Amino acid sequence: MNGQNKKIANIFWLGVVFPIAALISSICIGRYPIGINQLIAYLFSPGVFEDPGANIFWNIRLPRVLFSMMAGGALSISGSVLQGVYRNPLVSPDIIGVSSGASLGAAISIVLFSSVSSSVQLFAFAGGIIAVLFTFNLARLGNQSTIVSLILSGVIINALAQSGVSILKYMADPLQQLPALEFWLMGSLNTITWEKLINFLPMFFIGSVIIILLRWQLNALSMGDEEAASLGVSVVITRGIMIAMATVLVSGVVSMTGMIAWVGLICPHITRILTGSDHRVSVPVSFFTGAGFMAISDTVARSLTAAELPISVITAFTGAPFLAYLLIKSGKSAWQ
């Protein structure tokens, strides 16, 4: 099999087979197993709601699996965008401060506004957006908009936000607020309902559609600012739009689930190694890779033990060694 046919095969496996297999297995596997025949009956047969398993399928399992795939895809294409914008295959959404900002917003809500119902999602989403705005404004204070300035600004905002979280941990009630905050920071999908999925849809579609439509410009940005400008790409505007859409997606996911590590780093990196660095292909394929990876990780998290594990434990445990293997195997070829 030559190189081009191998890439086409990888695209098919990552973009079609893997997410479909992950979807079906995630729906069927759990503490209440659902067989294929049951799954078909729940979807197509009338009167099936008399079966108690139907309630588990429609109201618990299905919204959670669908959200996990949407969230994984959103985190993955956000990572793919940021890796293209920053011209570095090891960049993740954490680099611009969105994750740490969302964590600080959630910590403020849990510790200082615990009596306000459903405030965690709002504060976390706002925290992610505000953190990125601070990152951009800090990078522009020295009249610079270079990649290095943005990275350094992101490091500063990350450090400040993490310090704020640490202070709030110290202030938190150790019996109620601190455990809630720690569990949120580790990430979980156990609170996902149809309502939360629907609330996430506008952010998901706006961010994903704009990124998919503009993905070809990432090829120009990844060659450098001067080369991109010579090709007619408005570097500052395009970079701003891409980072803004990635911020919306990551903030939306984190506000609903808490912190989820590694998906935005490992999935686009795997996709790029297997399908090539053309963002017209790698960005949409990375969405499906992230969707499948997240669905499988969540299935393991809720099925491995009697007590559900935080999903970041699973994503880190599987993602970090696999990334190390890919780096050792591929060397420097992943960005060529």
Q: Where are the domains of the chain?
A: 19-67+78-262
Residue given tokens 């588990």 in the structure block: 56
Cβ atoms of 100 and 81 within 8 Å: the answer is no
Which tokens hold the place of 122?
Answer: 């709002």
Give the angle subtended at the CA of 182 by the CAs of 176 and 185, to the nearest 5°: 135
Output the pLDDT for position 148. 78
Q: At what angle do helices 18-28 and 36-44 cross, to 10 degrees?
A: 90
CATH superfamily of 19-67+78-262: ABC transporter involved in vitamin B12 uptake, BtuC (1.10.3470.10)
Spans in the chain with pLDDT lower than 50: 334-336
Q: Which residues contact 279 (CB under 8 A, 6 or more apart)?
A: 80, 84, 215, 216, 218, 219, 222
Q: What is the rounded distance in angstroms from the CA atom of residue 35 to the CA atom of residue 292?
A: 20
Cβ atoms of 264 and 250 within 8 Å: the answer is yes
Output the pLDDT for position 335. 47
